[in-house]
């Protein structure tokens, strides 16, 4: 992708004025604002129609500014060294001196932090004097946007500027890991747990459906395309769209495929856009075939399960 510095400057100027802009990341697009500013963070919640108690992820360029705001620990440093910048979000304790807006965290003492890899947003972060709070670009409970035109579809003129970054390469949100005590996965995401376990050299507990919700990615209804979804379907009903993992020879207009050759990463990358497409093609419900439940396939199944609670 060709990088346009004038665009990045435009985003920077708006963010400096406490406005919100949409930014590309390798996972999904985000609705970004100055994480140190109450005004900017309030605007993010309003734009997304997001409940105030659902805290925002804060995006940093590197460790330099993070050290002002959070307590770092060994597990964090190990994972940071291996995977950052990249599609992993860490929950850490904030320092008493943290400058993060209380609006961003709903006064929580913890902070979810991430170091996005997308080159456009990395340049933007490097230019800025503050980290950016950015939840996924979608209306609360709906599917995240993975292209600038999908952001436009969802937010229209409500968003002042969309920084172009092409299609998100991962296409699914970051993996969230709580590192305050014993590492614990709070949201399955674009980085496979198996790889994280290898680096920490231990099995990590998974807590993605707690009775007490600590991350709304954990909400049971989420990532919804706005129409009903049935899972693990072998035989579809009349007039349903059929979403299959791997392309087959059947050539019917109501058949949609996540991947040509059965590649899980490709399937994750295509998932949200295909769900949107089915809705646009006017189907009233979606039947989904079986999707392999390994690696990123687990994340795909997690999102589809939550979407099916619509
Ligand atoms: O890939 C991503 O992570 C994208 C891109 C834009 O970076 N962002 C994203 O943000 O998915 P969002 O807000 O849609 O999801 C963040 C999740 C929410 O479920 C939120 O509740 C949780 O992170 N979260 C935020 N702060 C937290 C905290 N202090 N403790 C636990 N969970 C937290
Ligand atoms: Mg989200």
Cα–Cα dist 144/146, whole Å = 7
Nearest atom, ligand 1, residue 216 CA: 19
Q: Nearest Cα to 48, choosing from 74, 29, 68, 71?
A: 29
**67 Cα distance to chain centroid:** 24
pLDDT in tens, the chain (310 residues): 789 999 999 999 999 999 999 999 999 999 999 999 999 999 999 999 999 999 999 999 999 999 999 999 999 999 999 999 999 999 999 999 999 999 999 999 999 999 999 999 999 999 999 999 999 999 888 999 999 999 999 999 999 999 999 999 999 999 999 999 999 999 999 999 999 999 999 889 999 987 665 555 555 567 889 999 999 999 999 999 999 999 988 889 999 999 999 999 999 999 999 999 999 999 999 999 999 999 999 999 999 999 998 7
113: in domain: yes
Residues 52 and 117 in one domain: yes
Residues 193 and 247 in one domain: no
Total residues belonging to the chain? 310
Indicate which residue's Cα is closest to atom 11 of ligand 1: 136
Tokens of 81: 């060294």
Tokens of 75: 């597990």
171 CB under 6 A from ligand 1? Answer: no
108 CB under 6 A from ligand 1? Answer: yes
297: in domain: yes
134 CB under 6 A from ligand 1? Answer: yes
Q: Nearest Cα to 272, choosing from 181, 146, 113?
A: 146
Indicate which residue's Cα is closest to atom 24 of ligand 1: 215
DSSP type of residue 172 = S
Residues 102 and 191 in one domain: yes
Residue whose token pair is 């129609």: 49
Residues 200 and 237 in one domain: no
Q: What is the pLDDT of residue 211?
A: 66
Cα–Cα dist 109/8, whole Å = 32
Q: What is the pLDDT of residue 156?
A: 95
213: in domain: no
117: in domain: yes
219: in domain: no
Indicate which residue's Cα is closest to atom 12 of ligand 1: 135
Q: Cα of 252 to ligand 2 centre, how many Å?
A: 32
Residues 41 and 121 in one domain: yes
What domain range is 62 assigned to?
Answer: 5-206
The closest ligand to the CA of 224 turns out to be: 2
191 CB under 6 A from ligand 1? Answer: no
Q: What is the pLDDT of residue 147?
A: 98
Residues 39 and 164 in one domain: yes
173 CB under 6 A from ligand 1? Answer: yes
Q: Cα of 144 to ligand 2 centre, how many Å?
A: 6
Residues 255 and 172 in one domain: no
Domains: count for the chain: 2
Nearest atom, ligand 1, residue 173 CA: 1
Q: What is the pLDDT of residue 140?
A: 85
Cα–Cα dist 24/134, whole Å = 10
Q: Cα of 14 to ligand 1 centre, how many Å?
A: 23
Tokens of 106: 């709903």
User: Are 172 and 189 within 8 A, CB to CB?
Assistant: yes
139 CB under 6 A from ligand 1? Answer: no
Residues 196 and 235 in one domain: no
Indicate which residue's Cα is closest to atom 13 of ligand 1: 135
Cα–Cα dist 148/133, whole Å = 18
The closest ligand to the CA of 44 turns out to be: 1
Q: What is the pLDDT of residue 39?
A: 98
CATH number of the domain encompassing residue 162: 3.90.870.10
93 CB under 6 A from ligand 1? Answer: no
276: in domain: yes
Residues 183 and 255 in one domain: no
pTM of the model: 0.96
User: Are 184 and 204 within 8 A, CB to CB?
Assistant: yes
73 CB under 6 A from ligand 1? Answer: no
Cα–Cα dist 225/138, whole Å = 11
Q: How many CB atoms lie within 10 A of CB 246?
A: 16
Residues 237 and 119 in one domain: no
Cα–Cα dist 253/277, whole Å = 12
258: in domain: yes
Indicate which residue's Cα is closest to atom 20 of ligand 1: 215
218: in domain: no
Q: Cα of 138 to ligand 2 centre, how many Å?
A: 7
The closest ligand to the CA of 57 turns out to be: 1
Q: How many CB atoms lie within 10 A of CB 261?
A: 7
Residues 64 and 185 in one domain: yes
Residues 197 and 266 in one domain: no
């Amino acid at each position: 992708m060709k990088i346009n510095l004038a665009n990045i400057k435009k985003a920077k100027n708006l963010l400096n004025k406490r406005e919100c802009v949409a930014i590309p990341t390798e996972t999904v697009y985000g609705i970004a604002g100055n994480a140190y500013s109450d005004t900017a963070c309030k605007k993010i919640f309003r734009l997304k129609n997001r409940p105030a108690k659902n805290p925002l992820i804060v995006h940093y360029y590197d460790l330099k500014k993070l050290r002002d705001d959070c307590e770092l620990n060994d597990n964090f440093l190990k994972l940071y060294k291996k995977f950052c910048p990249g599609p992993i979000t860490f929950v850490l304790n904030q320092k008493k001196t943290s400058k993060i807006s209380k609006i961003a965290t709903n006064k929580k003492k913890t902070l979810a932090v991430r170091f996005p890899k997308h080159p456009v947003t990395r340049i933007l972060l490097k230019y800025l004097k503050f980290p950016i709070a950015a939840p996924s670009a979608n209306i609360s409970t709906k599917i995240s946007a993975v292209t600038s035109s999908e952001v436009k579809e969802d937010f229209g003129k409500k968003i002042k500027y969309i920084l172009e970054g092409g299609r998100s390469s991962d296409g699914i949100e970051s993996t969230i890991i709580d590192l305050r005590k014993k590492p614990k996965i709070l949201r399955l995401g674009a980085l496979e747990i198996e790889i994280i376990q290898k680096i920490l050299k231990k099995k990590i507990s998974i807590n993605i459906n707690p009775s007490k919700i600590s991350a709304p990615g954990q909400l049971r209804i989420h990532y919804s395309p706005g129409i009903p979804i049935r899972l693990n379907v072998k035989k579809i009903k009349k007039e349903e769209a059929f979403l299959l993992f791997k392309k087959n020879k059947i050539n019917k207009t109501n058949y949609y495929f996540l991947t040509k050759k059965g590649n899980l990463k490709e399937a994750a990358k295509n998932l949200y856009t295909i769900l949107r497409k089915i809705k646009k093609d006017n189907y009233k419900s979606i039947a989904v075939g079986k999707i392999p439940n390994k690696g990123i396939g687990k994340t795909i199944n997690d999102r589809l399960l939550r979407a099916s609670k619509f």
